[in-house]
Amino acid sequence: MQGSSRRLAQAVVVSAAVVLSAPYIGIVRGRIRAAFPEAFGGIINGAVGVVLAAALVAGLTRIRERRAPRYAAVALAFLVGGAYAAVTGSADPNVRAVEHVHFIEFGLITWLFYRSWRARCDWSALVLPVLAAFIVGIAEEAFQWFVPARVGELRDVWLNLVAIGCGVAFAAGLEPPAPFSFGRRTGSGRAVRRLSALAVVVLAAFVHIVHLGQEIRGPEIGAFGSRYSAQQLAALAVERAAAWKIDPPLTRPAPLSREDQYMTEGLQHVAARNAAWDRGDVSVAWRENLILETYFAPVLDTPSYVSATGHRWHPDHRADAEARAAQAGAGPFVSAAYPYPLFYWPPSALWAVALLAAGVLLRR
């Protein structure tokens, strides 16, 4: 048990290091992309390929007995990971390359947790590492959401979970619990239920922080999704206008600073407006500009590290856009500026379901 406790401590320390290093990994990745813009995807994929090949060779050379099921477990890990990456990967090859890193990252974390519980020799030896690594994956995505220049979202949580499943299959093929029983030892069910309940609560907290939002409607602008209510956006606009008048955000935020989500949302609408204008979609550009003028005026007017002159249209440009949009006619409009899913659920409903599920798990 002493060895298992030491291995569990190692897994926790490595997991914490992976979570806390997220801002600096983003910096390193950004510098590689800046230095090798055309070769970035190839460099990342090459590094991932080398690590996977080394893991595969090291794993296969250690399989001496019960070869068929163990080879099958290793093959399953690679096949599932490859298929998921091929089917769900981003259309952007650079983003897709970064997504591949998740399989290395969470394969390692899962293996470390698996080593600490392998001696249980029952089904909990496989389930507990999955749950522990899943909680780490949620923590990493949550931390990335809070810091600048990184992204945390539910899609990456599921990507992490697939990587975790591949990791536990690979680990079990490499070092299967021996002797293994599909039954359960005393305390296994309780340990799994407790960790499952914690995973449910942590996942609910992540969804609440990152993905719960509100749909805001107006007779002229149409509708758009935000993590804030219309009243909160109005209050934040007043607050940011006053603060930025004294100290405008002229320098890029430090890696471990708190991302200004209000500014980020405003910049997302700026990007959507400009992209619509460039492709000739004046109606969308006009609606996005109205959203900016109504709810994100400080983002338009304040010089920043993104634009030294702000983002407000010149009066002549605005008048031209207004006339052309009026000529095109005002149809239904729902902004697609926010790049991640937003769920318009009452927080109380989310937590009622989560706490009920956790309570059921703990009472069994």
> pLDDT tens digits for 282-297?
999 999 999 999 999 9
Domain annotation covers residue 201: no
* 86 and 25 in a common domain: yes
Q: Which of 139, 165, 185 is the last residue of a domain?
A: 185
Domain annotation covers residue 196: no
Contact indicator for 112, 11 with CB cutoff of 8 Å: yes
Alpha carbons 32 and 25: distance in angstroms, whole number: 11
Rounded to 5 degrees, φ, ψ at 333 are -140, 130
* 106 and 224 in a common domain: no
* 171 and 243 in a common domain: no
Domain annotation covers residue 277: yes
* 165 and 293 in a common domain: no
* 261 and 115 in a common domain: no
Domain annotation covers residue 160: yes
Alpha carbons 29 and 43: distance in angstroms, whole number: 11
Contact indicator for 289, 178 with CB cutoff of 8 Å: no
Dihedral angle over CA of 3, 52, 72, 126, nearest 10:
30
Alpha carbons 294 and 345: distance in angstroms, whole number: 24
Nearest to 225 by CA among 331, 60, 345, 336: 336
The pLDDT tens digits of the residues spanning 156-210 come to: 999 999 999 999 998 888 888 766 555 556 667 888 999 999 999 999 999 999 9
Domain annotation covers residue 191: no
Is 90 exceeded by the pLDDT of residue 36?
Answer: no
Contact indicator for 157, 141 with CB cutoff of 8 Å: yes
Alpha carbons 263 and 243: distance in angstroms, whole number: 13
pTM comes to 0.89
Alpha carbons 300 and 303: distance in angstroms, whole number: 8
* 94 and 43 in a common domain: yes
Is 60 exceeded by the pLDDT of residue 3?
Answer: no
If you average pLDDT over residues 265-269, what whole number do you get?
A: 96
Provide the number of structural domains found in the chain.
2
**Full residue range of the structural domain in which residue 65 is found:** 2-185
Contact indicator for 188, 124 with CB cutoff of 8 Å: yes
Amino acid identity of residue 302, one-letter, is T
Domain annotation covers residue 15: yes
* 265 and 173 in a common domain: no
Q: CB count, 10 Å around CB of 287?
A: 27
Contact indicator for 138, 206 with CB cutoff of 8 Å: yes
* 117 and 29 in a common domain: yes
Position 186 scores a pLDDT of: 62
If you average pLDDT over residues 223-242, what whole number do you get?
A: 96
* 283 and 224 in a common domain: yes
* 292 and 167 in a common domain: no
Q: How many percent of the chain have pLDDT more than 70?
A: 96
Domain annotation covers residue 352: no
Domain annotation covers residue 205: no
* 124 and 22 in a common domain: yes
The pLDDT tens digits of the residues spanning 72-114 come to: 888 888 899 888 888 887 788 888 888 888 888 999 999 999 9
* 224 and 107 in a common domain: no
Q: In residues, how long is the chain? A: 364
Q: Which of 146, 170, 185 is the last residue of a domain?
A: 185
Instruction: Look up residue 342 and give its two tokens.
Output: 């937003």
